[in-house]
Amino acid sequence: MSAPTQVLFDAPGPKARRNNVLISIASALLLAALVAYIVWKFYDAGQLEADKWTPFTYTIIQNVLLRGLLATLQVAAVATVLALIVGVVFALLRLSSRRYISIPATIVLEFFRGIPVLLLIFAVFYIGGRGVGPFWAVVIGLTLYNGMVIAEIIRAGVLSVPKGQKEAAMAIGLRPGQVMSIVLMPQALRVMMPTIVAQLVVLLKDSALGYLVTYRDLLAEVNNIGRDYQNLLPTFIIGAAIYILVNMLVAGFARYLERRLQRTRA
């Protein structure tokens, strides 16, 4: 049996493999040295002292962190609901067989999907003024961007369903709306659910950008605590741990939904 053909590159020989190992070792040592230097700089600045962690035992600090976390979850929850609604609407518009509907929807989708979410938040905040406020500036910015991304995810999920499913549903007399809601969407949901949840995790992390428009979320409270108590490193470690925990819970919920959908399909 002949050796498998390498389409993109040739298999490395003994010398190339040795060089790869040496480069990997050198890169690991360089990374370890960089991490050690950063830790030493924080130690030299007094950021690793035990008393820098003491403020987190204060009830007032714990309440501030909880308030910031609730603010982050609030803006993320509202933006998630609105982004899902916008995503479904624009996915259906793009899937329309009428070009005078699908083409304008595509233009709007590509416009908002191509703009950085931070720029959208700034635009809403400064154009809307006090009538909008930081909360809705963040919500609208996150909704416009993530809603368009979710629309593309939903559209791709619907298009992944075999065409025979749609043709069979039309053959038995179902209307286009019934075909979409009864036949196509339920099957597409199983395909696109992990990707949608991954995008919602991105939305949750992007909510931290609200700090730049004076929204008092978790990142803003973490920054204030670090500045007031001169313990930036411990504070940001605590903040990062909270963000990681929340994202792990969302990912766990996604795995639960995926297992439920697989059991339902079976």
110 assigned to some structural domain: yes
Give the separation between CA 137 and CA 141, rounded to whole angstroms.
6
- Looking at the structure of the chain, the number of domains it has is 1
192 assigned to some structural domain: yes
Q: Which domain holds residue 88?
A: 60-265
Helices (H), 45-116: 59-94, 99-114
pLDDT at 68: 93
151 assigned to some structural domain: yes
52 assigned to some structural domain: no
**Helix orientation angle between 117-128 and 133-159, rounded to the nearest 10 degrees:** 140
42 assigned to some structural domain: no
pLDDT at 159: 84
Give the separation between CA 209 and CA 220, rounded to whole angstroms.
9
pLDDT at 206: 92
193 assigned to some structural domain: yes
135 assigned to some structural domain: yes
pLDDT at 257: 75
pLDDT at 76: 94
Each residue's pLDDT expressed in tens, for the chain with a length of 266 residues:
444 445 455 677 777 788 888 899 999 999 999 988 888 887 777 777 878 888 888 888 889 999 999 999 999 999 999 999 999 999 989 988 889 999 999 999 999 999 999 999 999 998 887 778 899 999 999 999 999 999 999 998 888 888 777 778 778 877 877 788 778 887 777 778 878 888 988 999 999 999 889 899 999 999 999 888 888 888 988 999 999 999 888 888 877 877 776 676 55
pLDDT at 1: 46
Nearest to 239, CA basis, from 259, 210, 219, 217: 219
Nearest to 189, CA basis, from 124, 261, 237: 261
In the structure encoding, which two tokens stand for residue 233, read together? 């490193």
33 assigned to some structural domain: no
- 204 phi and psi, to 5 degrees? -60, -45
CATH number for the domain that contains residue 210: 1.10.3720.10
Beta carbons of 167 and 32 less than 8 angstroms apart: no
